[in-house]
């Protein structure tokens, strides 16, 4: 199945091999989102709320426009989500000190609790998959995913990766 490390034969990239990769992405992404989706349903929130919460947790104090460029949605779409999170007391929004046009976003304690619940579930699945596949596989997994991103997204990812 594996090719000669230096060789990269043509066979390796048959349409059939590529199709398997495509279907693997499809089915795996379903698993990837299913646990948080299950937790959210019945709480009045959806996947869009999860994404906002994730990245606010990841970069506390981030601005709305920064979040927009990470999530890749319109401000109207994000605003709808953000408004409910702020109204429900999961997210705090405060005017910037240096630039008062900006809004800096933080999770409240209540927001932290939900974030924890969601990410615990998602990490548990990730951890199980990593354990099952082993360290070498994980390194390859990350390499291929990174290569699959658009350059713009890869920049976002790398910036986050190094902790900003």
Partner DNA sequence: TTGGAAAGTCAACAAGGCTGACGTAAATTT
Partner DNA sequence: AAATTTACGTCAGCCTTGTTGACTTTCCAA
Binding site for DNA (CB under 7 A): 44-49, 51, 63-66, 68, 72-83, 93, 98-103
What token pair was written down for 31?
Answer: 């698993």
The least CB distance from residue 92 to a second copy, in Å, is 22
- What is the Cα gyration radius of the chain? 19
Beta bridge mates, 63? 104
String of contacts with a second copy for each residue 81-120, x by CB under 8 A: --------------------------------------x-
Under a CB-based contact definition with an 8 Å cutoff, are residues 96 and 103 in contact? Answer: yes
Which of the residues 11 through 40 are near a second copy (CB under 8 A)?
12-13, 15, 17-32, 34
Among 77, 89, 110, 149, binds a second copy (CB under 8 A): 149
DSSP state letters, 68-94: HHHHT--HHHHHHHHHHHHHTTSEEEE
Distance of CA 82 to the CA centre of its chain: 17
Are the beta carbons of 111 and 119 closer than 8 angstroms? no
Residue 32 binding result from a second copy, DNA, none, given CB thresholds of 5 to 8 Å by partner type: a second copy
Binding site for a second copy (CB under 8 A): 1-3, 5, 8, 12-13, 15, 17-32, 34, 51, 54, 58, 72, 119, 122-123, 125-150, 153-154, 156-157, 160-161
């Amino acid at each position: 199945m594996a090719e000669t490390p230096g060789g990269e034969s043509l066979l390796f990239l048959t349409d059939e091999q590529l199709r398997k990769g495509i279907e693997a992405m499809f089915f795996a992404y379903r698993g990837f989102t299913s646990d948080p989706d299950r937790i959210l349903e019945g709480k009045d929130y959806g996947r869009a709320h999860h994404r906002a919460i994730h990245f606010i947790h990841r970069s506390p104090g981030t601005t709305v426009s920064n979040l927009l460029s990470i999530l890749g949605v319109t401000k109207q779409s994000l605003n709808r989500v953000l408004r409910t999170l702020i109204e429900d007391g999961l997210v705090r929004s405060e005017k910037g000190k240096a630039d008062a046009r900006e809004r800096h976003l933080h999770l409240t304690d209540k927001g932290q609790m939900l974030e924890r619940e969601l990410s615990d579930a998602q990490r548990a699945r990730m951890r199980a998959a990593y354990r099952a596949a082993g360290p070498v596989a994980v390194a390859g997994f990350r390499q291929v995913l990174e290569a699959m991103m658009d350059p713009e997204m890869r920049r976002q990812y790398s910036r986050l990766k190094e902790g900003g």
